[in-house]
């Protein structure tokens, strides 16, 4: 069989593009969780990011405002979560679930008037190189700026956590907020910042979906990607690089199984649809077997409420 | 330079409890001060105020005649007050150097040089690049001390530092503290252990119920005088118990008990044989980790051994679970009060209800009979002098001594024929230990039997009628308590054999 090398390049490029929202949301959530906060509202923040980005694009006709606006909306939603869980000391899990339900409902309400409006073309970088270089061209070129940002992000996150003082403080807070507080660290401030950053990244992930990946608004268009991002963080044992690997595996198998379905391979469709979920977990479990490393990367205080003695 | 720390009229009131009541104290560098008191006397509250973790309601603190505003731990640090808490303030998953660098403005490499200097000077041996969770308790404490030393402290406060240390580590710590004191650091040493006060400290302030009741030089004090000040009543000398109730009737017979564990960290039990008579206390001594845990679990039914080897009042019970054994009037008090004996987040009466017997009727058609359980709990609280009568209190708010009284009370209120307890007074203060020892003796005097598994030799010699030593999962020959002294016991615990002559 003659395999078109260019086709494989395009396939890999498509796989990478489909993993972008997962990488963004999971990297944001990873920082939040590393500070000891479990925000289950990822899906809600993503979908709010998607609708606000799309709505702003339609209203202002400016993609830059749309992107910034989507990040701000994710941030705003995460602020609600932060205020409830950190200042009013509510339960992380319940609050996060409520946030997701709220986000999905609110986005559907805002989105009523935007259904069916076509999106705007998003500027892609280095398109000419994409066509000129075989195989590598479609993989590395002709993507949006957010694509490149997403693939850089896990490495930056890793460097931030391991090599910078602020990263160290984030890890310390996630390890033991009480010790951190006794060391004079403002635990609430650190956790708020991490929550807001996570919210902004989820908003951006949503905007990527509605502005670039499938440029239009469809109700519930995140379709569970927020939950996958959450699962990625846990199964990648809070390591940014493993999150990247997990996201690519998930994106890859999603796209491949679609092709397999299209080719009419005689495997039940339900099994193929389930494959990305199973394989991502299997792969991440296999690459995260070192129990000593898991212990070192897991934020010990994850999901615990913290309040200061007076 | 001389450092003077003055605590003036400090008060701290919590709802329902005055933790510090008008506390005034003076400290001066060059000496080691002990702050002595039972659990709950207010020592920890005072040091939390001194280290800025909590605010006092009234009162002032002066360092070299300068009034200090300690609103946060940072304020205390900035004023060169260093503090090593009983529960370490370390980040388990971060490396030693990372832990130290959080608190420091210096670059990592500079810091490494400084820390290495300190390690050399005080002869500490710690690898700076391993995560804290790989260190022993003594090493963790050294990391805390280094963290304080990096800030050139004028005052160093140690809160119950030896509770987690081995004997050797304690000796090392005392040497270091004496060195620090000679270098001009003012040391305040918080403890409830009398011997430590006498061997380490120059002056001692005793706290009781939130008040300072005495300040004196340790050389003018002795164990009994300090103990009396701390407890507030003369220690009732425990009388040797009266052995009249000891009968020859056999209550428990363990024969050829073997236990081979799948877990490499557990100890295998090899050929355990003993009999226990009615009214007798059998002590099982040994260095911890020689099979005590496994033995307790097998006797209580947490582990079911495959050999049919335990007979209680002539009935075979080795296949019964703990609840069934309790129905037969056995009672158990495990070593770990917080995770094995009680559930800290449950209320007192709920913890009591967990021990339900067929006869106690705590449950009616699957529902809790709250009134009945609460009345039963109140009876336990008053009969066993737990210092609260609020059965709705969460168990985690009880001090160790009171929790242990509650647990023993829960077990004993049904008048069991046999009590098996494991380190019943571990980590408790003198008053609570005294109370529990007396309770155990009373049980014996009522003709009930006890198996006392303990690592505290004084306790064993005081309470037991006969003693056996467990070593590497094997029991030594059982000896009459009159024939044993601490030296002999020590020899047996190390695996030696006592020569008949």
Task: Check if the beta carbon of residue B203 is closer than 8 Å to that of residue B33.
Answer: yes
Domains parsed from chain B with CATH numbers: 4-231 (3.40.50.300), 250-329+416-501 (3.40.50.300), 343-414 (no CATH)
pLDDT attached to residue A74? 97
What is the DSSP track for B154-171? SEEEEESGGGG--HHHHH
B459, HSE (Cβ side, Cα atoms, 13 Å): 26
Per the prediction, chain B carries an average pLDDT of 85
The predicted-structure confidence for A174-186, as pLDDT tens digits, reads as follows 999 988 988 888 9
- Higher-confidence residue of A152 and B87: namely A152
- Higher-confidence residue of A98 and B238: namely A98
Task: Give the separation between CA A272 and CA A254, rounded to whole angstroms.
Answer: 9
Mean pLDDT of B259-286: 86
- Total beta-carbon pairs less than 8 A apart between chain A and chain B: 58
Q: Is it the case that residue A229 has pLDDT exceeding 50?
A: yes
DSSP symbol at A180: H
The predicted-structure confidence for B416-451, as pLDDT tens digits, reads as follows 899 999 989 887 877 888 889 999 998 888 889 999
Task: Give the separation between CA A303 and CA A33, rounded to whole angstroms.
Answer: 8
pTM of the model: 0.73
Q: ipTM score of the complex?
A: 0.81
pLDDT cut 90: percent of chain A above it: 60
Helix (H, G, I), strand (E, B) or coil at B369: coil
Task: Check if the beta carbon of residue A255 is closer than 8 Å to that of residue A15.
Answer: yes
Q: Where are the domains of chain A?
A: 5-223
- Higher-confidence residue of A187 and B430: namely A187
Most confident residue range from A22-26, B348-352, B383-387: A22-26
pLDDT attached to residue B233? 60
**H/E stretch holding B21:** strand B17-28
B314, HSE (Cβ side, Cα atoms, 13 Å): 2
Percent of chain B that is helix, strand, coil (3-state, to 5) = 35, 25, 40
- Interface membership of B427 toward A (CB under 8 Å): no
The predicted-structure confidence for A59-73, as pLDDT tens digits, reads as follows 999 999 999 999 999
Q: Is it the case that residue A309 has pLDDT exceeding 70?
A: no
Are B102 and A172 within 8 A, CB to CB? yes
pLDDT attached to residue B181? 93
- Higher-confidence residue of A115 and A125: namely A115
Q: Is it the case that residue B195 has pLDDT exceeding 70?
A: yes
Q: Is it the case that residue A50 has pLDDT exceeding 90?
A: yes
Q: Sign of the CA dihedral A175, A181, A186, A187?
A: positive
Are A171 and B92 within 8 A, CB to CB? no
Mean pLDDT of B471-486: 85
Task: Give the separation between CA B18 and CA B209, rounded to whole angstroms.
Answer: 8
pLDDT attached to residue B500? 44
Are A172 and B53 within 8 A, CB to CB? no
**H/E stretch holding B204:** strand B203-208
Q: Which of B324, B328, B263 is nearest to B294 (CA)?
A: B263
DSSP symbol at B237: P
pLDDT attached to residue A241? 95
Identify the band that residue A307 occupies on the pLDDT scale cut at 50, 70 and 90: confident
Are A309 and B88 within 8 A, CB to CB? no
In sequence order, which residues have a C-beta less than 8 Å from that of residue B14 and are 6 or more positions away?
Answer: none
pLDDT attached to residue A310? 56
Give me the residues paired with residue B330 across strands: B418
- Interface membership of B72 toward A (CB under 8 Å): yes
Most confident residue range from A158-172, B25-39, B71-85, B399-413: A158-172
Let me know how long chain A is: 310
Task: Give the separation between CA B453 and CA B299, rounded to whole angstroms.
Answer: 11
Phi (first) and psi of residue A99, to 5 degrees: -65, -40
pLDDT attached to residue B388? 82
Phi (first) and psi of residue A69, to 5 degrees: -65, -40
What angle is formed at CA B288 by the lines to CA B286 and CA B289, rounded to 5 degrees? 115
Task: Give the separation between CA B492 and CA B486, rounded to whole angstroms.
Answer: 10
Are B54 and A178 within 8 A, CB to CB? no
Are B85 and A172 within 8 A, CB to CB? no
Identify the band that residue B323 occupies on the pLDDT scale cut at 50, 70 and 90: confident
In order of A161, B358, B447, the CA distances from B415 in angstroms are 59, 15, 11
- In this structure, what token pair is assigned to residue B46? 């005072």
pLDDT attached to residue A4? 78
- Higher-confidence residue of B70 and A197: namely A197
- In this structure, what token pair is assigned to residue B141? 């404490």
Burial environment of residue B360 by CB neighbours within 10 A (0 to 12, 13 to 18, 19 or more): middle
Instruction: For residue A304, list chain B residues with Cβ-Cβ distance below 8 A.
Output: none
DSSP symbol at B394: B
pLDDT cut 90: percent of chain B above it: 28
DSSP symbol at A86: I
Instruction: For residue B102, list chain A residues with Cβ-Cβ distance below 8 A.
Output: 168-169, 172, 180, 183, 185
Most confident residue range from B176-185, B323-332, B351-360, B451-460: B176-185
Instruction: For residue A176, list chain B residues with Cβ-Cβ distance below 8 A.
Output: 89-92
The predicted-structure confidence for B233-269, as pLDDT tens digits, reads as follows 654 555 566 666 667 888 999 988 888 887 766 788 8
- Higher-confidence residue of A30 and B318: namely A30
Identify the band that residue B501 occupies on the pLDDT scale cut at 50, 70 and 90: very low
- In this structure, what token pair is assigned to residue A208? 């990527």
Q: Which of A33, A236, A20 is nearest to A144 (CA)?
A: A20
């Amino acid at each position: 069989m003659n395999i078109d090398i260019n086709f494989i390049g395009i396939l890999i490029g498509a796989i990478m593009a489909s993993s972008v929202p997962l990488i963004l949301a999971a990297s944001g959530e990873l920082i939040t969780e590393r500070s000891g906060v479990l925000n289950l509202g990822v899906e809600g923040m993503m979908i709010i990011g998607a609708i606000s980005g799309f709505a702003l694009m339609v209203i202002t006709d400016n993609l830059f405002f749309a992107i910034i606006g989507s990040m701000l909306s994710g941030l705003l939603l995460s602020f609600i979560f932060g205020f409830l869980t950190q200042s009013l000391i509510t339960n992380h899990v319940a609050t996060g679930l409520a946030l997701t339900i709220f986000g999905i409902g609110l986005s559907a309400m805002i989105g009523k008037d935007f259904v069916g409006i076509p999106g705007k073309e998003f500027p892609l970088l280095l398109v000419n190189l994409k066509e000129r270089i075989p195989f590598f061209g479609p993989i590395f070129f002709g993507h949006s700026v957010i694509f490149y940002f997403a693939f850089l992000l896990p490495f930056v996150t890793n460097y931030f956590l391991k090599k910078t003082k602020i990263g160290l403080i984030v890890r310390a807070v996630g390890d033991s907020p009480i010790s951190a507080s006794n060391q004079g660290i403002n635990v609430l401030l650190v956790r708020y910042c991490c929550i807001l950053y996570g919210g902004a990244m989820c908003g951006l992930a949503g905007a990527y979906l509605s502005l670039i990946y499938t440029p239009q608004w469809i109700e519930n268009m995140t379709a569970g990607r927020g939950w996958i991002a959450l699962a990625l963080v846990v199964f990648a044992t809070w390591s940014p690089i493993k999150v990247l690997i997990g996201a690519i595996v998930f994106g890859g198998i999603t796209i491949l199984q679609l092709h397999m379905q299209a080719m009419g391979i005689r495997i039940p469709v339900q099994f193929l649809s389930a494959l990305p979920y199973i394989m991502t977990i299997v792969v991440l479990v296999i690459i995260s077997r070192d129990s000593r490393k898991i212990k070192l990367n897991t934020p010990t205080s994850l999901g615990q409420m913290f309040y200061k003695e007076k | 330079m001389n450092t003077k720390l003055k605590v003036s009229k400090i008060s701290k009131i919590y709802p329902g409890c005055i933790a510090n009541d008008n506390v005034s104290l003076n400290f001066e560098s060059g000496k080691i001060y002990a702050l002595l008191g039972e659990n709950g006397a207010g020592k920890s509250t005072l040091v939390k105020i001194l280290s800025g973790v909590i605010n006092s309601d009234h009162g002032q603190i002066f360092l070299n005649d300068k009034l200090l505003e300690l609103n946060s731990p940072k304020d205390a640090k900035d004023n060169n007050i260093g503090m090593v808490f009983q529960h370490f303030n370390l980040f388990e998953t971060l490396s030693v150097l990372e832990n130290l660098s959080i608190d420091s403005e210096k670059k990592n490499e500079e810091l490494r040089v400084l820390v290495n200097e300190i390690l050399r000077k005080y002869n500490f041996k710690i690898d700076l690049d391993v995560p804290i969770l790989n260190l022993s308790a003594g090493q963790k404490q050294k990391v805390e001390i280094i963290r304080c030393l990096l800030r050139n402290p004028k005052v160093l406060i140690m809160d119950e530092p030896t509770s987690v240390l081995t004997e050797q580590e304690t000796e090392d710590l005392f040497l270091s503290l004496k060195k620090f004191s000679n270098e001009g650091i003012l040391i305040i040493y918080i403890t409830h252990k009398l011997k430590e006060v006498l061997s380490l400290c120059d002056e001692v302030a005793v706290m009781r119920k939130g008040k300072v009741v005495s300040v004196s030089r340790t050389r003018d004090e002795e164990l009994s005088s300090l103990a009396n000040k701390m407890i507030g009543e003369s220690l009732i000398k425990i009388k040797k118990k009266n052995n009249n109730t000891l009968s020859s009737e056999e209550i428990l017979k363990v024969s050829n008990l073997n236990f081979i564990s799948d877990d490499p960290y557990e100890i295998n039990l090899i050929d355990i044989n003993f009999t226990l008579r009615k009214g007798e206390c059998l002590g099982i001594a040994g260095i911890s980790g020689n099979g005590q845990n496994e033995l307790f679990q097998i006797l209580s039914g947490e582990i079911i051994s495959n050999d049919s080897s335990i007979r209680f009042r002539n009935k075979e019970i080795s296949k019964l679970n703990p609840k069934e054994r309790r129905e037969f009037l056995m009672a158990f008090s495990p070593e770990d009060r917080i995770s094995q004996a009680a559930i800290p987040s449950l209320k007192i009466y709920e913890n009591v209800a967990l021990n339900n017997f067929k006869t106690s009727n705590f449950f009616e058609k699957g529902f809790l009979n709250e009134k009945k359980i609460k009345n039963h709990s109140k009876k336990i609280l008053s009969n066993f002098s737990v210092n609260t009568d609020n059965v709705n209190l969460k168990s985690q708010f009880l001090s160790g001594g009171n929790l242990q009284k509650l647990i023993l009370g829960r077990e004993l209120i049904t008048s069991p024929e046999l009590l098996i307890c494991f380190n019943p007074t571990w980590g408790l203060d003198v008053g609570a230990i005294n109370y529990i020892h007396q309770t155990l003796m009373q049980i014996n005097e009522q003709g009930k039997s006890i198996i006392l598994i303990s690592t505290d030799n004084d306790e064993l010699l005081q309470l037991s009628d006969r003693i056996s030593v467990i070593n590497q999962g094997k029991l030594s020959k059982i000896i009459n308590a009159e024939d044993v002294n601490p030296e002999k016991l020590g020899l047996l615990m190390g695996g030696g054999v006592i020569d008949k002559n």
